[in-house]
Amino acid sequence: MRDVASAVLTILVFPGFGFLFVCALAFHWIDRRVTARFQGRVGPPWFQPFADFVKLLAKEDVLPVGAHERACALLPMVSLAAVLTAALHIPVGGYVVTSFEGDLIVVLFLLSLPALAYFLAGWLSASVFSVVGGSRALLQYFAYEVPFLMALAGPAILVGSWSVSRISGAQSGGLWTLLVQPIGFVLAFIGLIGKLKRSPFDIPKAKSEIGAGPLTEFSGRKLALWHLSLQVKTVVGIFLLVDVFLGGSGGGISLSGVTLFGVKCLLVLLALSVTGVLYARLRIDQLATMGWRVLAPLALVQLLVVVLVGG
C-alpha cells in the first residue's frame, strides 16, 4: 500500500504533474520578465501567468459556425496529455517517474504529437487565418523536426543507450555531451525553438499577419489548455536538453543535484528568452531553406562522425 501511495505521489506531485504545472507558470513568468527587461519594460507580477490561466477558464467558450466542436475540444487535451506523459520519462534532478531502454524514442514521439494537434486545430476551426497558420505549422514541423531528431540521436549513439536516464547518468564524472557534440546541442536548441514556436520561429502564430494562427478562433477553457500545453512543453523540452547535453543533475539524487539541475534549466530558459528578443521572425520559406539546406546536412554530418568515432 505504501508503494502505491508513493507511486501516486510521484506522478501527481514530484516530479509529476503538480511540479510541472508550477514550473510551467514559473518559467513563463521568468520568460516574460526577461523579455520585458530587454525591451525596456517592467514585466508582469509573479502571479500573472496563474491569473491569466484562471481568467481563461472563466471566459465564455465560443467557436465559429462550421468548426468541428468535438475535435476542437479534444485536440488541446491530447496535446497536454502527450506532453505530460513525455515528462514522466525525463529525469528531474535525478528523480524520474519511469525509465526503460528506448524511452527517448517514446519521448520524441510524444513531443511531436502537439505539433500535429496544432496543425489539425487550424484546419478544423473554420477560419482562414487558422488554416493558413496550420499550413505554416505543418511546413515548419518538417523543417525543424528532422535536425532535432538527428541531434538527439547523437548522444544516444555515443552512450550506446536510448534511455534518457542512462544518457544523463553517463555524463556524471565525465564530459558533458555539449562539450563533445556542440553542433548537436545547437541543432537541438534550434529545434526546440521551432517546437515551441518561439521567435524567430513563431511563424504559425504571427500576430501581425494571421492573428493567433491556428488558435485564432479558440477561447475560454480550450485556449487555456492550449497555452498550458505550450508552457509545459517548454519545461519538458528544457529538461530534455539539460539531461541529454548538460549532464542533468550531475549523477546524484540530492538537494545539490536538484539545485544544479535547476540552474542549468534557468540558463537554457534565459538563452531561449534572449534569442527571442534578439532575432526577428523568419519567413516560412527562409525557415524551410535553412532547415533542409543548413540544419539537416549539419545534423547528418555530425551523426556520421559520431557513428564513425563510436565504432
pLDDT at 89: 94
Q: What is the pLDDT of residues 29-85, one digit of tens each?
A: 999 999 999 999 999 999 999 999 999 999 988 888 888 889 999 999 999 999 999
Averaged confidence pLDDT in the chain: 91
Q: For a pLDDT cut of 90, what percent of the chain falls above it?
A: 68
Residues in CB range of 309: below 8 A, 6 or more apart: 158
Strands (E), 167-255: none
Helix (H) or strand (E) holding 196: helix 182-196
Q: To 5 degrees, how large is the angle CA 242–CA 139–CA 61?
A: 85
Question: Which pLDDT score, from 0 to 100, does residue 79 have?
Answer: 96
The proportion of the chain whose per-residue pLDDT surpasses 70, expressed as a percent, equals 97
Using a cut of 0.85, tell me whether the model's pTM lies above it.
yes
* Residue 92, phi then psi, degrees to nearest 5: -125, 105
Question: CA 90 to CA 110: how far, in whole Å?
Answer: 12
Q: List the domain boundaries for the chain.
A: 24-310
pLDDT in tens, 194-217: 999 998 999 988 877 888 889 989
Checking phi first, is residue 67 left (phi over 0); if not, alpha (psi -120 to 50) or beta?
beta
For residue 143, give the C-alpha cell.
Answer: 523543417
CA distance 178 to 244: 9
Task: Report the alpha-carbon distance of residue 176 to residue 162 in Å, rounded.
Answer: 17
